[in-house]
Amino acid sequence: MILGSNPLTPLEHGMRHVLNWFHFTVGLPWAWSIVATTVVVRMILVPLTVRQIHSMQAMQQHMPRMKEIQQKYKGDKQRQNEELMKFYRENNINPAASCLPMLLQLPVFFALYYSLRHFAREPAADHPGSLGFLHFIPSIAAHTTTHWGGYILLVVYVGSQMASTLYMSATADKTQRTLFMIMPLVFVFVIARFPAGLVLYWVTTNLWTVGQGLITRRLMPKTPAPSLARRTSRTPPRDDGGGGDGGGNGAAPKSPTPKPAPPRAKQQPRKVRRKKAGRR
């Protein structure tokens, strides 16, 4: 992280401008400026994620078949992925997961990291407690574990990270998903060394992911009865939110039969239902 300090300076300045604007112009405390910046970033990414969510919905219908194929090529990850890609193409599915939206958040993360490091050196000129958050984090620029409040934030981080993983990787295969779930428990030790403000950013972005997942689940109906029945035999409806397909879910169609037609037929009545639900 120390390596890239120079090329990232413009990013840091940009972040500082945004934070300053929220703090001085809008009048938010520093911690809430971070939350607001995160929300703005996620709002900018909404067009990307909406498209992803639509893909997720389409994928839900194919979950049983995908799982079937996943089982079939259990031993051969490479083959599993190739067959899965073939399955997507044949069924006209656009996989929900993609790398770009996630990578677009990385510059924000770095910028915030460097901004907060400078915050620690030149404390905000306002008043001493201005770096606090909700009375339990004394300073967002200090290491998370320097105060008991930081531990609460870390617990919230682990919870929110796990919850967002539920939405983002529901179609990934079991091993991968378990790994994603365990990750926050391992990384919490690394994150403890980060400034509390960075953890705050993380928690906010995770909560946004979860909220987005909940809202879309409510607005968009679940799969029609037949496939729902099939799915329930496997896992609770949480699997629906699945986003991370491409990588790990292996599933190859047993036969490249003309499947595209039925899903399309199912999608149309869905749209009607969605409208009704919205009006209610």
Binding stretches for another protein (CB under 8 A): 48-49, 51-52, 55, 81-82, 84-86, 88-89, 94-103, 105-106, 165, 168-169, 172, 176, 180, 183, 187, 243-249
In the complex, the smallest distance separating the C-beta of residue 188 from another protein, rounded to whole angstroms, is: 11
The residue among 110 and 133 lying less far from another protein, judged by its C-beta, is: 110
In the complex, the smallest distance separating the C-beta of residue 219 from another protein, rounded to whole angstroms, is: 18
The residue among 48 and 228 lying less far from another protein, judged by its C-beta, is: 48
The residue among 30 and 73 lying less far from another protein, judged by its C-beta, is: 73
Two tokens, residue 261: 């037609």
Alpha-carbon separation of residue 240 from 63, 84, 265 (angstroms): 8, 18, 19
In the complex, the smallest distance separating the C-beta of residue 274 from another protein, rounded to whole angstroms, is: 19
In the complex, the smallest distance separating the C-beta of residue 6 from another protein, rounded to whole angstroms, is: 17
The residue among 181 and 228 lying less far from another protein, judged by its C-beta, is: 181
In the complex, the smallest distance separating the C-beta of residue 230 from another protein, rounded to whole angstroms, is: 23
The strand pairing partners of 133, in sequence order, are 137
The residue among 26 and 104 lying less far from another protein, judged by its C-beta, is: 104
SS (H, E, C) the chain: CCHHHCCCHHHHHHHHHHHHHHHHHHCCCHHHHHHHHHHHHHHHCHHHHHHHHHHHHHHHHHHHHHHHHHHHCCCCHHHHHHHHHHHHHHCCCCCCCCHHHHHHHHHHHHHHHHHHHHHHHCCCCCCHHHHCECCCECCCCCEHHHCHHHHHHHHHHHHHHHHHHHHHCCCCCHHHHHHHHHHHHHHHHHHCCCEHHHHHHHHHHHHHHHHHHHHHHHHCCCCCHHHHHHHHCCCCHHHHHCCCCCCCCCCCCCCCCCCCHHHHHHHHHHHHHHHHHHHC
The residue among 31 and 252 lying less far from another protein, judged by its C-beta, is: 252
The residue among 100 and 265 lying less far from another protein, judged by its C-beta, is: 100
In the complex, the smallest distance separating the C-beta of residue 199 from another protein, rounded to whole angstroms, is: 12
In the complex, the smallest distance separating the C-beta of residue 214 from another protein, rounded to whole angstroms, is: 19
Q: How far is CA 147 from the centre of its chain?
A: 28
